Amino acid sequence: MPSGSPKNKKPLDIVVKFGLAVFIGSFALIWGGMYLSRPDRSIPPYTVGSQSGHVVATDVPSGTQDDQIAKLLNRFRKVGHETRDFGRMKIYPTTPGNPGGRYRQIVIYVFDDHGWTDPDVLAKFLTGDATAIKNYERSMRGYYRLLDQEEEGGLGPIPKDGRITGDTRILFKGLVTDPLPVEAEDEPGISISPL
């Protein structure tokens, strides 16, 4: 063979081609799954600690700012107005079997300490233990209440019998048929996309 002629390249074996396709395909699948399951960064991370009937106790990380809790409460409001499907917000049906819907009534309490969302603590609060009620309400960071067509949300403890204390700041109150206010554009979150 003369030294100036190009070498004939041998085509890749089918097993090597298959291996490369699996390798590249697995990275594409992992990236796609991470992109599709990324957390919603426009609201603070929260967990549902316990639920008793239509009462739900949730918690956000300690130190969460009031404006972030307000964004979470507004998200609950948006769900209440648009679909009333709080299942996508990790909440079990509060009125199962009700012909009017699975979420006709719901009260969501927001805390920044996971201990207040314990099922036993929620049970003591709901049974009317005076000490438990006082401490429970003092620890609330926010609330969302939806009773049929009426809704209310605010920062601080939930008002009792229509009495609002100085610790409570009502963010919204009205009917779910009222139009939602136009929301300002959120700051873009951190993208996990390599592009």
If you average pLDDT over residues 17-42, what whole number do you get?
A: 85
Q: What is the dihedral of CA 66, 69, 71, 76, to 10 degrees?
A: -150
If you average pLDDT over residues 3-20, what whole number do you get?
A: 80
The reply to whether 16 and 104 lie within a common domain is: no
If you average pLDDT over residues 97-115, what whole number do you get?
A: 91
The reply to whether 102 and 74 lie within a common domain is: yes
- d(Cα 133, Cα 129) in Å, to the nearest integer? 6
Whether the predicted pLDDT of 47 surpasses 60: yes
pLDDT digit string, tens, across residues 120-151: 999 999 998 888 888 898 899 999 999 989 99
Whether the predicted pLDDT of 195 surpasses 60: no
DSSP 158-195: PPBTTB--TT-EEEEEEETTSPPPPPPPPPP-------
If you average pLDDT over residues 58-81, what whole number do you get?
A: 93
The reply to whether 23 and 81 lie within a common domain is: no
Residue showing tokens 């949730």? 58
Using pLDDT thresholds of 50, 70 and 90, give the confidence band for residue 187. Answer: low
The reply to whether 102 and 32 lie within a common domain is: no
Question: Which pLDDT value is given to residue 191?
Answer: 47
If you average pLDDT over residues 105-125, what whole number do you get?
A: 93
Question: Under a CB-based contact definition with an 8 Å cutoff, are residues 38 and 31 in contact?
Answer: no
The reply to whether 54 and 34 lie within a common domain is: no
The reply to whether 17 and 57 lie within a common domain is: no
Whats the size of the chain, residue-wise? 195
